[in-house]
Structure 1
Amino acid sequence: MVATLGSGESGGSVYIMDMSGSVDFPTVSLNACGRIGRVASSDRTVWTADCNPDGTQVVLGTNNGAALLNLETGALSWLYRCKSDILSQQFVHSGNVVLCGLRNGSIVSIDVRQRHSNLPRGLASSVTAGRTLPVLSARHSARGRNQADKAKASGIMSSAVCSLVALSSDENYFLGSSMDGSIKLFDLRLIQKGAIQSYAGHVNSHTHLPLVVDPSETLLMSGGEDCTIRIWSIKTGEQIFAQSVADVLFTALCWPESSLNLDGSSSLFDLNHSWGAWMGSRDGLFYMHGT
C-alpha cells in the first residue's frame, strides 16, 4: 500500500501494489502500471495510511481527520474529525482499534467496529481512468463531527506525533515518537496517566522519522537527524547501539520478518548474522547487521 500527499491542485490518494508475483527490479518502473492500482482519492492531504492485518480495511490520516476504507465493498466513512493533521497511524494486532498521532501531540485510539458516518452518496465516488474510486470529501455530516466524542484522546506527546508502533505480543502497549525527539512506551489502559517508559538519545526536530521494532519485540530502532542509528531495549529503555553508519539521513527502516526472500529462498544477508535491518535514504538502500 502506498499513500501520496497530493498537491495544491489535487488531494492525496491511496494505491495498492501487487507483490504476489516475482519482481524484476531493473524493469519494475516499466511494469508499475500493471502492478499499481488506485483504490481511493481525496480532496484533502493524505499524510499517512495503514492497512489492517487481514487486508480488508485501510485507514487514512488527513489534514482534517481519519477515514476508513473497506477494500471489499468500497465503502468510505469518517472515523474521526479534528482540526489537527493526522501524521501517523497504526492498527493494533487485532485490527479492531486504530491509533492516530496528531500534529498537536495527541494520540487518539478509535474502535473501528463502532458505527461511523458514511459519505453522502453524491460525494462518495468519482470516475478516473474508467474506474469508480471512493473519494474522501471535506464535507461531512453532523454524525461525522461527533466522532471525536467516541474516540479516546490525550495530549500525551510534547510535539507532533510522527510515528506509532503497536506491539503484537500485547496490543495494550504501543510506542510513539514526536518531532522533538521524544520516544515513549504507552499502555492504552493507562493512557491518561502518560508514558510508562522513555527512550533517551533520539535526535529529531522536523523530520518524519519512523520507529521500527524487531520481530521478537525486544529491540526498538530509529534513525536520527544526526545520521545516527540507535537501538534501545524496549523493556528497560537502555540504549544499546548508537552509530553513524553513513553520512545520510535514514527516513525508512525495516526489520526483516524472516530470513527468507520473496521467492522463499534463504536470504544471503541473514545466514551468518545474529540480526539485520534495512535502511532507506535518498542516497539508496542500506543493510546493517549484527555479529
Structure 2
Amino acid sequence: MASIDISDLHRTPGGSNGFRRQLQVATQCARELIDELNGSRKADMPASGAIHGLALLAKEASRRSLPVSEKEVDYWKEVFFKWFESVKRHFAEPVRDEFRSKAEADFALIREKADILSETPWEQLRTRYVHPVRFPTREAFDLACDRAKAKYPANLGIALDKYLAACVQRLLEADDVDQPLVVKVKEEPPEDRPGTVAPRFITFDDGVHSIVVTSFGGLQRPANSGLGLQKAVQQQLRKTSPGTLEQLEFDSESSMFTVRSRSLGSLAAVAQAIFSIAAAAKGNSSS
C-alpha cells in the first residue's frame, strides 16, 4: 500500500471519496428543502440550516467541486430571499439584517465552489413542483366552487382547477396568471368492471392540455383499447360536438388513448364522450 503523505482528513484518497459523498448528500438536502420554500409562508423552515451546513462543507471543498451549478445556486438564492421577504416580519428587528447578511455570505460561498455546469436537469424540473391547495372547511370549498363557476361559466367541469391554478400562481407572484401549472397526477388504477374508466387531465408549460387513458378494463369492444377508444370518441363527437374535432390532436396507440388541445372546452367534450361510452358499457353489462 502506498504511503499517505497528506494530513487533511478529507483529502486522502479514501477520505476525499467520503467527503465527496457528504457534499452530494448535503447538496441534495439543500435542493429539497429549498423546494419546500417555494410558495411557503411559514417563518421557521429548515432550509436555512441546510444552506448553512452546505456552506460549512463548501469552505473545505475545492473550487468547482460542489455537485450543483451556479445557475441553480442563483435560483436557490432567489427562492430563499423571496421567502424571507414574505416572513421577515416574524423575525425580531435586531436579528433580521444579521440573518439576511449571513444567508448572503453562505450563498456567496456555495456559488464560489459550485460547478459551472451540472448533470442535474433542475431547469427542466423546477416547474414541476406540486402546490397543494387545502380548504379548512367544507363551506370554504363550496365557496371556492361557487366563485370558480362564476369566473369560468363556460367550462364548469374544469372551472375549479382553473380557479385554483390562478390562485396558486397569484400566491407565487407569477408573471402570467393565465399560464397553466404543470400538475403531477397520481393515477389510481380503476377496478376492472364495466363502466369504470379513469382519464387523466395533464397541463403542459406551453399551454397545451391533454387527456390520457391507459386502462380500458371498464370498456367494451371495440372501445377497450387506445385506438378503439379514439375511434369511439371521434364518432361520438361527430354527433354531439362536430366543431371540436378541428381543435383536437389525437395521438393514440393500442395501449394508450391520448388527445391534446389548447382548447379546454374541446377537451371537456372529449371527457364527456369518454364517460358516455363508459356509461353505455355499464348499461349493456347490467341488461
- TM-score for the superposition, normalised by structure 1: 0.25
The answer to which structure, 1 or 2, has the higher relative contact order (CA under 8 A, 6+ apart) is 2
State which structure, 1 or 2, has the greater radius of gyration over its C-alpha atoms: 2
Kindly indicate which of the two structures has a greater share of residues assigned to strand.
Answer: 1
Kindly indicate which of the two structures has a greater share of residues assigned to helix.
Answer: 2
